[in-house]
Chain A
Amino acid sequence: MMRPLLKRHMLIFLRDRWAVFFSFLSVVIILFLFAFFLGSLHDASVPEAFRGTAEADYLVNAWLFSGVLFVSTVTIPFGFLTFMVRDVETGVLDDFFVTPAPRTRIVISYLLAAVIISTGLGIVNLLVGMIVIFLVSSYTLPVLTVFHILALVLFSSAIFSALAYVVMSFLRSMNATGTLNTLVGTLIGFLAGIYVPVGNFSSRVGSVLSLLPTLQLSSLFRQVYMADALGTLYGGASADGYRLFFGVDLEIGGTLLPAWSLYAFGAFWLAGFLVLSVVRLSRFKR
């Protein structure tokens, strides 16, 4: 029962071109902003001696595509789970509920499908990013890094699918989901430190943002995605200033957050959102 249902969820999402497009809208906006504004800002922050080199291009594009990839793991679950609200509104869910299939499994199928779609499209995103980086700088991501990124895509997709599921479970109309997705698409660029690098904020605002899962996960993506590029460009030199300014590393109250703490935060958010998801399953009881 689960496989046909997952297939159904994926088909209805992927056959709706506008839904797919709007799930990627913030990604498009980031690319657009980067081309006209963020790119030059970033170039200026690279040590003068390296500006215009393939190594600098590798770093700048790794920063860009790590952000794009992270954002897609947030916006795609929100975009996909719009269909859960639509299914409630149009009575499709009722049609599922009058069958002997357990209701919890039917509802969980939406959450699972969100993770699968987000991860699947994340892989596409990663491939596109790698191709662009190769074309621009002739560098390729190390194989281990690619697998590490894939694991992060899955991790982040699971966290934000659970969050999206909890939020969507409160909504009853497609109008509300449209408003929510616009809000998410707009805010995510700020909350992930992409539209405005986190170093531009005061340390207090930066600390508050660092407590949110959006900045924590985007930071993890950057750490993994950009590790090779940072090593290539900076070699043994210190890149601490760059890393803090562009949100590769995070600080709370002047204390640097180690990578393991970001994973711990991620696990905390995932557990929390899953618990809330289970609580929200009651919405679908009679």
Chain B
Amino acid sequence: MIDIKNLYKDYERTRALHGISFSVRPEAFFALLGPNGAGKSTTIEILSTLKSKTAGTVQVATHRLDEADGAIREAIGVVFQTSALDATLTVRENLEVRGAFYSKDRSRIRRRIDEVADEIDIREFLDRRVGTLSGGQRRRADLARALLNRPEVLLLDEPTTGLDPRSRERIWRLVLKLKRRHRMTIVLTTHYMEEVNDCDQVVVLHEGRIVAEDSAQRLRERYAHDKLLITPASPALSSRLEREGIDCHPLGARLHIPVVSPFQAIELIQRFEADIETFEIVKGTMDDVFLNLTGRTLSDHDASVA
């Protein structure tokens, strides 16, 4: 559905993308994961024909960028990082204006607005001005706008950034519902690790380069490990573990032991039960994936960028 080969993007003094290549299967739920400045939004902007590429080839829904940009725009729906709807217009007025870009038939536009309003559950605030909506409601309106043209490819650029957990969850449920119902290809950029868990293809970007590409589950298996966190009952535990050749690192008052599975963790707990006060088995996360691939966590990186 999307095919990118050796994509470079240069700004005046910086290179944002260093020859990245990847393909997105039809109906895939695809994630571009990385911190701020990794090149995620630049990639989305190139895919959505907003930015030019410096070099490389890009194909979206069988249409080549620079040769059939109009056809690409017909095939995509985009939710931007921040809401792009007019605050002083109602949601309906906003959708009518955007709908007119896709069809001249006003009654058809109105019907389509009704359809997406029901699907995204925005009917209750369809006639309210966007400026009066909550962040979550506004995001749903953005999603409705992106669906107006029944896109084959839905591009979501950090769609849940800045939302409260409840709104994030609601948006997320909607995205999953859309994927199931319409079997569309979804390309998501995010720096929330938990959001890529549902994705069947993940590309990890770091400073404009791809550092890993696989399914979320396989990336976790390869780059993230479960860990056992132990609060020792006696100070001797650390030296006992070392004597028995078990890799452990102090983590505050606790000991951090990488394990290949929860079963190994249970076995260790049983062996050293007398020296353990409390324990916790933590599943490997996508955050660990990023840490192992780049040597930094996403939150470290975002803090340094900020």
Contact = CB atoms under 8 A, between A and B. Distances in A.
Interface of A: 1, 3-5, 7-8, 11-12, 15-16, 90-92, 94-101, 286
Q: Which of A15, A97, A98 has the most chain B CB atoms inside 10 A of its CB? A: A98
B50 interface: yes
Contacts of A97: 49-50
A138 B148 CA distance: 57
B101 interface: yes
Given A98-B48, A100-B74, A16 B88 contact: yes
A90 B142 CA distance: 14
A100 B98 CA distance: 11
B82 interface: yes
A209 B124 CA distance: 58
B195 interface: no
Interface string B65-104: 0000010011010101010111011000100111011101
Closest 6 CB pairs of A and B: A95-B84, A99-B101, A4-B100, A286-B52, A101-B101, A15-B88
B51 interface: yes
A98 B49 contact: yes
B89 A11 contact: yes
B145 interface: yes
Q: Which of A4, A5, A97 has the most chain B CB atoms inside 10 A of its CB? A: A4
B2 to A, nearest CB: 15
B49 A12 contact: no
Nearest to A91: B84
B70 A100 contact: yes
Nearest to B148: A99
Interface of B: 48-52, 70, 73-74, 76, 78, 80, 82, 84-86, 88-89, 93, 96-98, 100-102, 104, 145, 149
Given A5-B97, A8-B93, A12-B89, A99 B73 contact: yes
A96 B86 CA distance: 12
Q: Which of A1, A90, A92, A95 has the most chain B CB atoms inside 10 A of its CB? A: A95
A172 B290 CA distance: 36
Contacts of A7: 97
B82 A91 contact: yes
A95 B98 contact: yes
19 contacts: A4-B97, A5-B97, A5-B100, A8-B97, A12-B88, A15-B89, A91-B84, A94-B84, A95-B85, A95-B98, A97-B50, A98-B73, A98-B76, A99-B73, A99-B101, A99-B102, A100-B70, A100-B101, A100-B102
Nearest to B65: A286
A12 B86 CA distance: 8
B145 A95 contact: yes
Given A98-B73, A98-B76, A1 B82 contact: no
Q: Is the interface of A mostly helix, strand, loop or mixed?
A: helix
A11 B52 CA distance: 32
A94 B145 CA distance: 13
Contacts of A90: 82, 84
B114 to A, nearest CB: 17
B86 A8 contact: yes
B100 A286 contact: no
Contacts of B86: 8, 12, 92
Contacts of B100: 1, 3-5
Nearest to A14: B88
Nearest to A86: B86
Contacts of B101: 1, 96, 99-101
A4 B73 contact: no
Contacts of B98: 95-96, 99
Contacts of A91: 80, 82, 84
B97 A286 contact: no
A5 B96 CA distance: 10
Contact of A94 (B50, B70, B93): B50
Contacts of B97: 4-5, 7-8
B12 to A, nearest CB: 15
Contacts of B48: 98
B73 to A, nearest CB: 5
A180 B236 CA distance: 73
Nearest to B82: A91
A216 B51 CA distance: 42
B80 A95 contact: yes
Contact of A95 (B49, B78, B102, B104): B78
A11 B145 CA distance: 19
Nearest to B75: A100
B49 A286 contact: yes
A179 to B, nearest CB: 23
A5 B104 CA distance: 12
A172 to B, nearest CB: 15
A104 B80 CA distance: 22
A22 B291 CA distance: 53
B73 A286 contact: no
Contacts of A99: 73, 98, 101-102, 149
Nearest to A93: B84
